[in-house]
C-alpha cells in the first residue's frame, strides 16, 4: 500500500467524523478560555443569525451569539472560565430555551478550551408551561368557597362552569368549537351540557353511549377511549356537528376512571389536531369532570322545587338533632349504673329526638305535590337501602350534612358523630337499634380509622365499617390495617352519589339483615 493510500485511509474517518459533527441536529461549539466561539457546527450557526458577526459566530461571545441575556448567567460563566463541566437551561431574549452542557476539552495550561453541546428544548418547555396553565385553569373551574356554593342554585353552578369551560377552551387551548355531553347512567343517554359553535340540529341530536350508530361521541362514551377524526369526510363514525368541520377530537370525561360524559372539539382544517392537542384536551377534561363533581355533589339528583324544599327543612334540623343525640348519649353513659330514672329519661330524649326528623319528613311529604314526591323517590331510592340505619363519623360539618342529604333520599335513617369517641358511644347506646353501616373518615380528631375499628370490635361481633379518605392520604396506614382485618370498603373523597350508594349497598349486602320498614 502506498503512503498516499495510507494517508487517504487515515484521513477518511476523520473527514467523516467532522461531517457527522457538522450536521448533528444539536448545536456543538468549541469555546476558548474567555468564552468566545472558536468553532461551531451548522446547527449552532443557524441559531446565531441575529447574535453573531459578519463571519458567523466565530470570535463572538457564546452568550451574545445565542442572544442570551447577561443577567442570571454568572454561575455558568464561572464554570466555563474555570474549565468545569456545567449544565443549565437558558432562555433567549426571543423566548427560546436551550439545554446547555459544557465539558473541558483540548485544554493546555495556556489555552483552556471547552466543548459545549446545545439542544433546543423550546417545544418541551412551552408544553410543560401549557400543561401547568391547563391544570391551573382546571382548578379554577369550580374555585368557590363553601359559602359561595351554598348561595348558588344548581343552574347557577352549571352556568358558571359552562362559562369557565368555554373561556379556557378558547383562550388557553385555542378550541373554538366545543361540545360537552353528560352520561345519564339510568338511560345511557348523552345529554348536552354545553355547545359552542355547533349546528342546532347537532345540539339536539339524541345520542347514546353505544359503540355503533351514535357517532364518535357515542363510541367514546361506550369505550372510554379518546378518538381523533383526521378527515371527517372519510370517517364512517363522524356525525356532522360544526358546519364545514374537517376534523374532530373527542375524549371521555373521566371521574375516578369512570366515564361520566364526553368532550368534543372540531376544526375547519383536515388533520387540525396533533397528539399534543389530544394530551392537553385529556388533561383539561379530567379537571372538567372533577369540577362537575364538586359543583353538583350535594345536588346530583335534580328534584322539583317542592321536593327540594322538603330536603331543605329536613337538612336544617338534621345536624342539630344529631348534636342532641350525641349529648344525650354522652350524659347517659355517665349515669348508667347510678341513676336508673335519669337513664330512662335520657332514653326517652333519644327516642323523641330521632322521631323529630321522621315527623318533619312525613309532614313535608304530605305538603309536597304527589308528582314531586314521585319524581324524587323513583329517581333515587334503592330498595336495599330503605329503612337502613347509617352512622357517619367525620369532623367536617359539610360531610355530615351531605351524608344526610344524599343517603336519606334513598330512604336511609342517618345519624352522625364528630369524632371516634362520640361514634363509640352512639354504637354502645344503640341496643337493638344497631347501625347497618358505619362510615368513618380515616383521620378523626381523637383517633384514626383503624383505632375506631378496634374500639368497635370490642362492642360488635361484626363491624360494618366503611372508611373514607382523600386520594393518597393515609398517614396512619388505617386502610392497610383495616383491610388486614377484613374491612375492604373504601370511599375516596370527593365521591359521586352513585359511588356512595353502591358502597353502602355492598356493606348492607354483607350484613345480610332484612331491611327495616
Taking the model in full, what pTM does it have?
Answer: 0.45
Average pLDDT on 52-63 reads 77
Residues carrying CATH 3.40.50.2300, the chain: 305-511
> DSSP characters for 305-334?
HHHHHHHHHHHHHHHHHHHHHHHHHHHHHH
Domain 128-299 matching CATH 3.30.450.40: the answer reads yes
| 225 three-state secondary structure | coil
Mean pLDDT of 329-356: 73
Architecture of domain 3-120: 2-Layer Sandwich (3.30)
Q: How confident is the model at residue 381 (pLDDT cuts 50, 70, 90)?
A: low
Higher-pLDDT residue of 255 and 224 is 224
Residue 18 has pLDDT above 80, yes or no: no
- Cβ atoms of 485 and 508 closer than 8 Å: no
Q: Provide CATH 3.30.450.40 ranges for the chain.
A: 128-299
Mind listing the pLDDT tens digit for each residue in 80-116? 777 778 888 888 877 888 888 988 876 555 667 889 9
Stretch 409-419: mean pLDDT: 88
Among the residues of 23-153, which ranges form H helices? 42-47, 62-65, 74-82, 122-140, 146-151
Distance CA 443, CA 479 (A): 11
pLDDT tens, residue by residue, 295-340? 654 343 333 444 555 555 555 667 777 888 777 787 777 766 667 7
In this prediction, residue 75 carries a pLDDT of 75
| Cell 330521632 sits on residue | 354
Checking phi first, is residue 407 left (phi over 0); if not, alpha (psi -120 to 50) or beta? alpha
| Average pLDDT of the residues in 6-25 | 69
Dihedral in degrees, nearest 10, Cα atoms 260, 266, 272, 275: 0
What is the rounded CA–CA span in Å between residue 64 and residue 58?
Answer: 11
Phi (first) and psi of residue 389, to 5 degrees: -100, 125
User: Residue 378: how many CA atoms within 13 Å on its side-chain side?
Assistant: 8
* pLDDT for the residue numbered 361: 61
Burial of 420 (C-beta count, 10 Å sphere; 0-12/13-18/19+)? buried
- Average per-residue pLDDT for the chain: 79
Q: In the chain, list all ranges with CATH 3.30.450.20.
A: 3-120
295's enclosing H/E stretch is: helix 275-296
CATH of domain 305-511: 3.40.50.2300
End-to-end CA distance of the chain: 106
The counts of H helices and E strands in the chain are 18, 15
- Predicted confidence at residue 162, as pLDDT, reads 78
Amino acid at each position: 500500500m502506498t503512503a498516499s493510500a495510507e494517508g487517504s485511509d487515515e484521513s477518511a474517518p476523520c473527514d467523516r467524523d467532522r461531517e457527522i459533527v457538522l450536521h448533528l441536529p444539536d448545536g456543538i461549539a468549541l469555546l476558548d478560555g474567555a468564552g468566545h466561539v472558536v468553532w461551531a457546527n451548522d446547527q449552532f450557526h443557524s441559531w446565531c443569525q441575529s447574535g453573531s458577526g459578519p463571519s458567523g459566530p466565530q470570535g463572538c461571545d457564546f452568550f451574545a451569539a445565542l442572544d442570551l441575556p447577561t443577567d442570571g448567567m454568572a454561575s455558568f460563566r464561572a464554570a466555563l472560565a474555570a474549565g468545569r463541566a456545567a449544565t443549565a437551561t437558558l432562555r433567549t431574549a426571543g423566548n427560546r430555551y436551550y439545554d446547555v452542557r459544557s465539558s473541558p476539552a483540548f485544554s493546555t495550561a495556556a489555552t483552556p478550551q471547552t466543548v459545549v453541546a446545545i439542544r433546543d428544548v423550546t417545544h418541551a418547555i412551552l408544553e410543560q408551561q401549557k400543561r401547568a396553565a391547563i391544570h391551573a385553569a382546571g382548578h379554577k373551574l369550580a374555585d368557590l368557597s363553601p359559602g359561595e356554593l351554598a348561595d348558588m342554585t344548581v343552574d347557577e353552578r352549571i352556568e358558571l362552569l359552562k362559562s369557565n369551560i368555554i373561556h379556557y377552551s378558547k383562550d388557553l387551548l385555542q378550541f373554538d368549537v366545543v361540545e360537552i355531553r353528560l352520561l345519564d347512567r339510568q338511560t345511557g343517554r348523552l345529554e348536552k351540557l354545553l355547545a359552542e359553535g355547533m349546528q342546532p340540529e347537532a345540539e339536539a341530536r339524541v345520542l347514546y353511549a353505544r359503540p355503533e350508530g351514535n357517532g364518535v361521541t357515542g363510541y367514546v362514551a361506550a369505550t372510554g377511549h379518546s378518538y381523533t377524526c383526521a378527515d371527517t369526510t372519510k370517517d364512517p363514525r363522524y356525525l356532522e356537528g360544526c358546519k364545514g368541520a374537517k376534523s374532530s377530537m373527542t375524549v371521555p370525561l373521566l371521574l375516578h376512571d369512570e366515564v361520566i360524559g364526553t368532550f368534543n372539539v372540531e376544526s375547519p382544517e383536515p388533520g387540525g389536531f396533533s397528539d399534543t392537542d389530544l394530551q392537553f384536551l385529556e388533561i383539561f377534561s379530567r379537571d372538567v369532570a372533577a369540577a362537575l363533581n364538586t359543583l353538583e355533589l350535594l345536588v346530583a339528583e335534580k328534584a322539583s322545587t317542592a321536593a327540594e324544599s322538603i330536603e331543605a327543612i329536613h337538612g336544617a334540623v338534621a345536624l342539630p338533632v344529631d348534636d342532641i343525640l350525641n349529648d344525650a348519649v354522652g350524659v347517659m353513659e355517665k349515669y348508667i349504673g347510678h341513676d336508673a330514672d335519669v337513664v330512662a329519661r335520657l332514653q326517652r330524649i333519644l327516642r323523641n329526638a330521632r322521631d323529630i326528623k321522621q315527623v318533619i319528613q312525613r309532614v313535608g311529604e304530605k305538603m309536597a305535590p304527589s308528582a314531586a314526591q314521585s319524581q324524587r323517590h323513583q329517581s333515587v331510592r334503592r330498595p336495599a337501602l330503605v329503612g337502613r340505619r347509617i352512622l357517619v363519623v367525620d369532623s367536617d360539618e359539610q360531610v355530615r350534612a351531605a351524608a344526610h342529604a344524599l343517603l336519606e333520599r334513598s330512604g336511609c335513617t342517618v345519624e352522625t358523630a364528630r369524632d371516634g369517641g362520640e361514634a363509640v358511644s352512639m354504637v354502645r347506646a344503640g341496643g337493638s337499634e344497631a347501625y347497618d353501616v358505619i362510615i368513618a373518615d380515616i383521620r378523626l380528631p381523637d383517633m384514626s380509622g383503624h383505632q375506631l375499628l378496634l374500639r368497635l370490635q370490642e362492642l360488635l361481633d361484626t363491624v360494618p365499617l366503611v372508611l373514607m379518605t382523600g386520594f393518597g392520604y393515609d398517614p396512619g396506614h388505617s386502610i392497610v390495617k383495616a383491610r388486614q382485618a377484613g374491612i375492604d370498603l373504601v370511599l375516596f373523597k370527593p365521591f359521586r352519589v352513585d359511588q356512595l350508594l353502591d358502597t353502602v349497598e355492598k356493606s348492607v349486602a354483607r350484613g345480610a339483615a332484612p331491611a327495616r320498614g
